[in-house]
Amino acid sequence: MNIQEVNPVAQSLLHTVAGYEGAFEGAYNIRQDSGCAGRRSTENIRIQSKPDGKPGLEIHVAPGTRGEKVFIPAVVTHGDVSDVAYNDFYIGAGAKVTIVAGCGVHTADNGESRHDGIHRFYLASGSEVIYEEKHIGTGEGAGLRRINPVTECFLEEDASLTMETSQLGGVSYTDRKTTANLKARAKLIVRERLLTQGDEEAKTYFDVVLEGEDAGCDLVSRSVAKGKSRQSFVSRIVGEARCHGHSACDAILADDAVVTAAPQLDALNPDAALIHEAAIGKIAGEQILKLRTLGLTEEEAEARIVAGFLK
């Protein structure tokens, strides 16, 4: 199935969240307003609708696949759309691929624009996945813009999953839940970046179980909260064997925003090494002063600091 008509709002959102320039190379599926606007499989990557009738996809990556990308962005381009997609990824042994997801929601009226994406990753032994996901909300309407991603990860021995996720702004409400179970020597790395402003609210929840010997995870969330926005970061790491687990919440506060962080570490084995760090505070005055001496206004200095923090 080639790319069908992608409306102008969708084109803008797709460019922001997935680098769309009128086409994608390799395997892809474009989800627009709960429908499929285009799909293509390759010799090594097969994309198909879910056989159980649920909305969403099955993505099968053949064992040994190397250097390929698969694009699966989803966009909602107007209000009064509540989209749900269940996407399951089956990564063959020894495969090494990049998955580019991303979601944009737009409303120009009072109607709510919403996307809930439930992604499940099944990584076979020795496979490696880089998963890139950007979220954004746009439009001048008063309707809410909601994105609620749920990610479930199952890593077999020696598998590796790196998740690079970011929320670029404009999302009224997001509830982000990530769970993972790791077998021996499996690795999970998460780099989350969030921006909230106005009355927006963002919730992050991690629950990682390190089942196998020498499994490891590194979960880092960096965020900026402005206006009267609210953020919460909750993480739980369970060490059931000799393992290494680390989580960190690093947040900048501005205006009347609120950020909370609640770590939980469960060491169920004497050789489980688990660490949590949290730092929440406003932009340092000396940082702004230094940039102002270089000719920037206070607003420009703050914007520069925020942009660098969220890189």
CA distance from start to end of the chain: 36
Q: For the chain (length 311 residues), average pLDDT per consecutive 10?
A: 76 95 92 94 97 94 97 96 97 98 96 97 98 96 96 98 94 97 98 94 97 97 93 96 95 90 95 93 65 66 70 73
Pairwise CA distance, residues 151 & 89, whole Å: 11
Of 271, 251, 269, 270, the residue nearest 260 (C-alpha): 251
What is the structure's pLDDT at 296? 67
Pairwise CA distance, residues 22 & 31, whole Å: 15
What is the structure's pLDDT at 284? 61
Pairwise CA distance, residues 141 & 79, whole Å: 9
Pairwise CA distance, residues 20 & 72, whole Å: 11
Task: Note whether residue 129 is domain-resident.
Answer: yes
Task: Note whether residue 271 is domain-resident.
Answer: yes
Instruction: Name 169's Cβ contacts closer than 8 Å, sequence gap at least 6.
Output: 136, 137, 195, 196, 197
Pairwise CA distance, residues 156 & 94, whole Å: 11
What is the structure's pLDDT at 110? 95
Task: Note whether residue 292 is domain-resident.
Answer: no
What is the structure's pLDDT at 1? 45
Counted domains in the chain: 1
Where in the sequence is the domain holding 145, given as residue range(s)?
Answer: 8-284
Task: Note whether residue 128 is domain-resident.
Answer: yes
Pairwise CA distance, residues 297 & 295, whole Å: 7
The length of the chain, given as a count of residues = 311
Task: Note whether residue 299 is domain-resident.
Answer: no
Task: Note whether residue 193 is domain-resident.
Answer: yes
Pairwise CA distance, residues 107 & 88, whole Å: 28
Per the CB < 8 A criterion, the answer to whether 77 and 10 are in contact is: yes
Task: Note whether residue 71 is domain-resident.
Answer: yes
Task: Note whether residue 200 is domain-resident.
Answer: yes
Helices (H) and strands (E) in the chain, counts: 3, 21
What is the structure's pLDDT at 290? 58
pTM value is 0.92
Residue 194 corresponds to which tokens in the numbers above? 């969030």
